[in-house]
Amino acid sequence: SADGDRNLSLDSIPMGLPMSDPAAWTTAMNNLGMAPMGMTGQPLLPDFDPALGMMTGIPPINPMMPGLGIVPPPIPPDMPAVKEIIHCKSCTLFPPNPHLPPPATRERPPGCKTVFVGGLPENGTEQIIMEVFEQCGEVIAIRKSKKNFCHIRFAEEFMVDKALYLSGYRIRLGSSTDKKDTGRLHVDFAQARDDLYEWECKQRMLAREERHRRRLEEERFRPPSPPPVVHYSDHECSVVAEKLKGKCFYDTKFLEAIQTLLTWIERGEVNRRTANNFYSMIQSANSHVRRLVNEKAAHEKEMEEAKEKFKLALSGILVQFEQIVAVYHSASKQKAWDHFTKAQRKNISVWCKQAEEIRNIHNDELMGIRREEEMEMSDEEIEDPSEMKETEESALVSQVEALKEENDSLRWQLDAYRNEVELLKQEQGKASRDEDTTKEQQMKLLQQALQGMQKHLLKVQDEYKKREAELEKVREDKLKIETLLENLKEQETSTSRVCACSQEKECPVEKTLSNSAVKSEREVLLVGIISTFLHVHPFGASIEYICSYLQRLDSKICTAEVEVLMTRLQNTFRQELSGVGASLEKRWKFCGFDGLKMT
């Protein structure tokens, strides 16, 4: 189309030769009727014939000429591109003014191989257009219009960039100056369906190749499929049972057997006929639980031994570090230090610092290990009696539930045996007299088994009743202990009230002393030290932090004594809660100045 708003970008490949090329510069100067002179005023080519540039049929050297393949170096952005006069057989192309802005072009369509050429002379023919544009590359088709424009389709996309180089050139047919024989070329991208179709086909082909490559990669990294599981039969069942009973637990046969058993159960192979076989296989699988527990205990033991070895080795390393540091310190003394040079002293001081840093790091690591062990030991030692009772109750409840499950399983086995007995009775009536003896023996065996199972059931029921009675006793004891605790608390509150009243009646002076909650000189000292400590910590401190500070002064001080003393002095110390949820923390603060104002 002959639309006027088209954009031309300077990013297209520059087709002119640089000014440093003497042949091209000489040709351009000769075509303009000037002597080819260099920058210093001397001739560039002394053997150059000026008539060569004006001879018909021999165009000057130009990068647009097919077969030369001259690719000029990139032109700097601040330097304008120099275009030259192009001579053809039937016409001449004159370059535009280099100071004018470049012609505008539209956005390049994908896969563009077709260009729009406007501003053609009225007398221009397809032969002249072919003569001008075949220098850009192989021309596939030319569609010329009556209105001085045409569309040219090239074989490759890069040829379009060469054709855009001619945009802005003035064309003149022969040596005529008639308007019908002149024009200004405007070359722009054109949107053609053939170009778009070929580009889409190419993109689809690339997408197919990419999909094929990804499929090959996925197949290469895909894990192999698991082996198929055989179908259930009596022979396969016996084979799997033998594998499950094997003594070599680390063999792959056990894993295969347990996987086969799981697959059979999920497929629904369990029925009345095969229930006993599956039960025996499940029982064999259950026998491996003890082995796994023992293995875990062995690994834990090995881990503890490894920890002990590591701790011993670390302590030995620390001893050696201490000796090395002692050597450095002894060398730093004046007796030996004066005999070393400056470089030796510097090296010794640097080595000493490095050794001390490494020793401190290892010492912190060893102390951290010991702290963790002490924390574990303290967690094991400190156990609340109420928690012990709850654990005993939970253990009893779990035992009762286990007995219930065992009772249910025994009942189901009894039902299965009864069904088998009924089936045997039905088959006994149909069978012949020769098989009566064998069936009677089987009946006796089944009856004996039933009797044994009934006895076992009675024992389990008795144990269940005993456990329930023990549970009831434990619950009654718990209720009694709770009532006793409540009574004790009430008695303590009543006695405290009675003592308070008697003290108020007997000695009012002692009442003031008791209100002050300071009973001895030791408590007065404690109050003063705690007040000083909390005054330094305006945001408060926990009771453990306060006691750790006091125990440095006197190791006999206990946490309960300090907490009772601080709770009595409500006008001096105040307890606050900080944090939310699991991070809830009790902090004590010094409020003596506020208490003094209140009192």
Residues 543-572, buried b or exposed e (16+ Cβ, 10 A)?
beebbeebeeeeeebeeeebbebbebbebb
- Please report whether residue 95 resides in a domain: yes
Residues 169 and 242 in one domain: no
- Please report whether residue 475 resides in a domain: no
Strand-pairing partners, residue 172, are 92, 182
343, 371, 399: which is the final residue of a domain?
A: 371
Nearest in space to 595 (alpha carbons), one of 565, 569, 566? 569
Q: Quick one: what percent of the chain has pLDDT higher than 70?
A: 77
Is residue 104 predicted with pLDDT exceeding 90?
A: no
307, 335, 350: which is the final residue of a domain?
A: 307
pTM for the complete prediction? 0.30
Residues 94 and 165 in one domain: yes
- Please report whether residue 481 resides in a domain: no
- Please report whether residue 28 resides in a domain: no
Residues 181 and 271 in one domain: no
Residues 277 and 363 in one domain: no
Q: How far apart are CA 372 and CA 357, in angstroms?
A: 23
Angle at 290 between CA 289 and CA 295, to 5 degrees: 100
Residues 290 and 326 in one domain: no
Residues 180 and 253 in one domain: no
pLDDT of residue 220: 87
Residues 338 and 365 in one domain: yes
- Please report whether residue 477 resides in a domain: no
Task: With H, G, I as helix, E, B as strand and everything else as coil, classify residue 365.
Answer: helix
- Please report whether residue 112 resides in a domain: yes
Q: Residue 590: which H helix or E strand, with range?
A: strand 585-590
Instruction: For 496-516, write each residue's pLDDT tens digit.
Output: 676 566 555 545 444 444 455
182, 201, 220: which is the final residue of a domain?
A: 201
Residues 329 and 355 in one domain: yes
Task: With H, G, I as helix, E, B as strand and everything else as coil, classify residue 124.
Answer: coil
Q: How far apart are CA 582 and CA 599, in angstroms?
A: 37
Residue 16: CB atoms within 10 Å: 19
pLDDT of residue 152: 95
Q: Residue 117: what residue type? A: V
**How high does pLDDT run on average in the chain?**
78
Residues 184 and 109 in one domain: yes
Question: Domain span at residue 543?
Answer: 521-596
Residues 104 and 183 in one domain: yes
Residues 175 and 111 in one domain: yes
Instruction: For 52-84, write each residue's pLDDT tens digit.
Output: 443 334 344 444 444 444 344 445 544 556 788
Instruction: Determine the longest span between alpha carbons in the chain, in angstroms.
Output: 144
- Please report whether residue 97 resides in a domain: yes
The domain that holds 143 is classified in CATH as: 3.30.70.330
pLDDT of residue 4: 39
DSSP state of 37: B
Q: Residue 92: which H helix or E strand, with range?
A: strand 91-94
- Answer with the residue of higher pLDDT: 356 or 177: 356
- Please report whether residue 267 resides in a domain: yes
Nearest in space to 119 (alpha carbons), one of 135, 134, 103, 131? 103
- Please list, in sequence order, all residues whose beta carbon lies within 8 angstroms of the beta carbon of residue 530, skipping any fewer than 6 positions away: 546, 550, 562, 566, 573, 590
Instruction: For 388-426, write each residue's pLDDT tens digit.
Output: 666 667 777 777 777 887 787 787 778 777 877 877 777
Q: Residue 193: which H helix or E strand, with range?
A: helix 193-221
Residues 188 and 279 in one domain: no
Instruction: For 552-562, write each residue's pLDDT tens digit.
Output: 888 888 888 88
Task: With H, G, I as helix, E, B as strand and everything else as coil, classify residue 132.
Answer: helix
For the chain, the domain total comes to 4
The domain that holds 530 is classified in CATH as: 1.10.10.10
**How large is the average pLDDT for residues 469-479?**
89
